[in-house]
Amino acid sequence: MKTVLITGASSGIGKATALHFANNGWQVIATMIALDESHSIKEVPNISCYELDVTCTESIEKAKRAILQTFPTIDVLINNAGVGYRSFVELSDDQNLERIVSINWLGVVKMARAFIPIFREQGCGQIINISSIAGLVNLPLGSFYHSTKQAVESFSECMAYELLDFNISVATVQFGNAPTNFQNNAAKSDVSSIASYNRLMEKITQTLQEKSAKNKNLTRKITHKLLEIAENPQQSFRRYSIGFDAQAMKILRARLGYRLFNRIIRKFIAS
């Protein structure tokens, strides 16, 4: 029975992925920032819950020691933990900036750093980093979220070269707005005295909520694709885009170039 470690597994895509892997015969190590968030999955067969804060090296090492006592072999690491932050640059604050960078990018870095030695000793392993279509295209109010996801894309591709000799594969997965509470939980800058900013925030927030509501089958597509990737690791680095939104945006950005793509976004989203 293969084993997968998933960060941010208490809710949303992480929880759905943990359940899907467990239902398909995998041993699931579900990690989360606090174990009191595990009530909905801790009793599920094949799922073991551990407290782990991806922003804290000490927390990662403590969890790793506990995990390895029960699971001496880990086949796949899925770096799923992430947060959102919609803000205008001039209205951004240090606390939210540091939080999104620490979780979305440095959390991926620290988890990979911690478990690569395990994979090397095993002679195999796979790292799947949950990115976003935001890692490939740039949209309004995404200055900080998109930056972290693009950092994950670059980091993952560079890291893949380092790990070729050790039979450790690396992949990233991008998708659009899934029908979870992610957008509702995303931090946002406060209403300001700048009318233009307020209008744009309202427009983008409404658009994201509408897209999330429409993508009813996206969560299922994501979990099924993640299982497929985990069961068929590729030697070379791979990027996987899931869902119509991600595929369409990826193709449009590639074919139109940034100038035409930017014009379309300005007309239909930011105007």
Catalytic residue among 2, 145, 214, 240: 145
Q: Report the pLDDT value the prediction gives residue 181, as an integer from 0 to 100.
A: 81
Overall number of domains in the chain: 1
Please count the helices (runs of H) and the strands (runs of E) in the chain. Answer: 9, 9
Instruction: Check whether 270 has a pLDDT greater than 70.
Output: no
Is-catalytic flag, 267? no
Write the CB contacts of 107 (distance below 8 Å, at least 6 apart in sequence). Answer: 7, 54, 55, 79, 81, 82
The parent domain of residue 226 ranges over: 3-270
103-152 pLDDT, tens digit per residue, is 999 999 999 999 999 999 999 999 999 998 776 777 888 899 999 999 99
Instruction: Check whether 83 has a pLDDT greater than 60.
Output: yes
- Is pLDDT larger for residue 269 or for residue 71? 71
- When pLDDT is averaged across residues 42-63 and rounded to a whole number, the result is 96
Cβ atoms 129, 54 nearer than 8 A: no
Q: CATH number, domain at 249?
A: 3.40.50.720
- When pLDDT is averaged across residues 34-56 and rounded to a whole number, the result is 91
Buried residues in 151-188 as b, exposed as e (16+ CB within 10 A): bbbebbeebbeebeeeebbbbbbbbbbbbbebbeebbb
Q: How confident is the model at residue 249 (pLDDT cuts 50, 70, 90)?
A: confident
> 232 is written with which tokens?
């068929």
Catalytic residue among 50, 149, 216, 221: 149
Cα 167 from Cα 160, distance rounded (Å): 10
- Could you give the dihedral angle defined by the CA atoms of residues 13, 63, 95 and 148, in that order, rounded to the nearest 10 degrees? -50
Cβ atoms 172, 131 nearer than 8 A: yes
Q: Report the pLDDT value the prediction gives residue 140, as an integer from 0 to 100.
A: 83
> 174 is written with which tokens?
């991008």
Is the overall model pTM greater than 0.85, yes or no? yes
DSSP summary character for residue 212 = H
164-223 pLDDT, tens digit per residue, is 999 999 999 998 878 788 877 888 888 989 999 999 888 888 888 877 777 778 999 999
Q: How confident is the model at residue 30 (pLDDT cuts 50, 70, 90)?
A: very high
- Residue 92: name the closest of 182, 198, 190 by CA: 190
Q: How confident is the model at residue 271 (pLDDT cuts 50, 70, 90)?
A: low
Q: Report the pLDDT value the prediction gives residue 258, as an integer from 0 to 100.
A: 66
Q: Report the pLDDT value the prediction gives residue 269, as an integer from 0 to 100.
A: 65
> 17 is written with which tokens?
């992925």
Tokens 């927390």 belong to 59
Cβ atoms 80, 223 nearer than 8 A: no
